Structure 1
């Protein structure tokens, strides 16, 4: 039995691991046994339909003003901006076509998961990245100002110290904007063989040149005064980091890395892993 992904704009690709092996047979059996409207079963193969692959937008989650003396003020989101009204957080879409005043700090995750979508009948309705208030989204919300403070105190080197009244945008990015965990198909927790499935789906999509090119175009909004933090999950982070380090960029942002915010053992000190 084989698993295929029918991706809009990118075509149909098989899911295999680094040894060109298909996913775990028990996982494939579980997917086959579901009544998900997003799969097609034919000739012993499973295909994830195009309707499943709905991109979650990258967002600006918070905007701060630096007040001096290691103090930051969170600014209210303009109600007339491109606000994502069904998000758990004050998200606005991060646009490739907009030039943002102030400094950008980008937190790079890996791909959307369960709470980043509403799954209604035959529709996958995307919301925004990092929606869980008990995991990734909540950790970022509680600790982002601590991260800004360690930058301000130069405990972690940044290209240029914050200037009084400087505006700072916190951007949340997914290199792959689709649900690579396939959670809304199999409904299983992201651990064990299902974590392996997510990793293999992610890698297979990331291997598509146009997917990498699309993310590169997003990162072109960042300049040498900005900061990118690779917070991708541990098994995928090295792949992404090597790619980030080798990106052609005339004005490359400062690159850091840290643990994924949802890592339970880092709860309460995620910001301290960033360097």
Structure 2
């Protein structure tokens, strides 16, 4: 029916294996972009998402976004990385969750990835990052030393787990969480996430685990399993940083 969202069962393919989800998607088929036809089909009241939606060309890669400067008085300033900024040898990883609509565009009928945190989340990171770090550093005994740090934004699951480009309105959280968990467990996402951080292991000074609260435990467990001695702080997702600086248990 035109203009009305209906509930459909969802089936996805990951690594050639068919997975039928417990969570249904609420969607108006008439609102799905025509370009999306290569990624899904509707069969007997079920939305079937094919493997193209989760192939490597749909990954949103990590992004070196900011340089943080800590002076001798503990004052922290934040600036975006420009083309002329040198690469540094001290890193802070800001862990997000998975990319949504703002991190993709439709180009030549393909869902094309951009960079992490391109919408409201990115704006709130830029506005609040220095204040967040000024709250974190005393919590860590001021272990972040004087100097400049490169801040890297990374999604543990670099695919659009929400399927948000297929529907309008708010992101359907339960659907996203179920797909995110499947991708985390049944693909190389976890290993690639840990591998990206491990490549800079000796120079990683801080990891801020700001994954969505329902999924944060999976990321935290993965980061602590290797026993690499990372300094890890858990916080609410950056999309909520405008509400205050809150650490999560």
TM-score (norm 2): 0.80
Contact residue 11 and residue 49 of structure 2 kept, 8 A: yes
Classify the secondary structure of the residue corresponding to 1:267: helix
- Alignment pair present for 1:219 and 2:206: no
Contact residue 65 and residue 72 of structure 1 kept, 8 A: yes
Q: Distance in 1 between matches of 2:16 and 2:47?
A: 15
Instruction: Decide which of 84, 88, 96 is 1:101's aligned counterpart.
Output: 88
Q: Distance in 2 between matches of 1:40 and 1:140?
A: 36
- Alignment pair present for 1:124 and 2:111: yes
| Cα offsets for 1:63-112 (capped at 9, x unmatched) | 13333212344456342689xxxxxxxxxxxxxxxxx6332111111100
CA RMSD of aligned residues (A): 2.9
Classify the secondary structure of the residue corresponding to 1:167: strand
Task: Name the structure 2 match of 1:23.
Answer: 23
Task: Name the structure 2 match of 1:93.
Answer: none
**CA gap 1:42/1:121 in 2 versus in 1, 3 angstroms:** farther
Residues 44-83 of structure 1 mapped to structure 2, 5 A cutoff: 45-53=46-54, 54-74=58-78, 77-79=81-83
Q: Which runs of 5+ in 1 are unaligned?
A: 17-21, 83-99
Q: CA deviation at 1:11?
A: 2.9
- Alignment pair present for 1:188 and 2:188: no
| Cα offsets for 1:150-172 (capped at 9, x unmatched) | 345x2x11683412xx2201111
**CA gap 1:39/1:32 in 2 versus in 1, 3 angstroms:** farther
Which protein is richer in helix relative to its size?
A: 2
TM-score (norm 1): 0.74
- Alignment pair present for 1:138 and 2:123: yes
Task: Name the structure 2 match of 1:147.
Answer: 132
Task: Name the structure 2 match of 1:179.
Answer: 160
Instruction: Decide which of 4, 26, 29 is 2:11's aligned counterpart.
Output: 4
Q: Which runs of 5+ in 2 are unaligned?
A: 1-7
Task: Name the structure 1 match of 2:5.
Answer: none
Classify the secondary structure of the residue corresponding to 2:201: coil
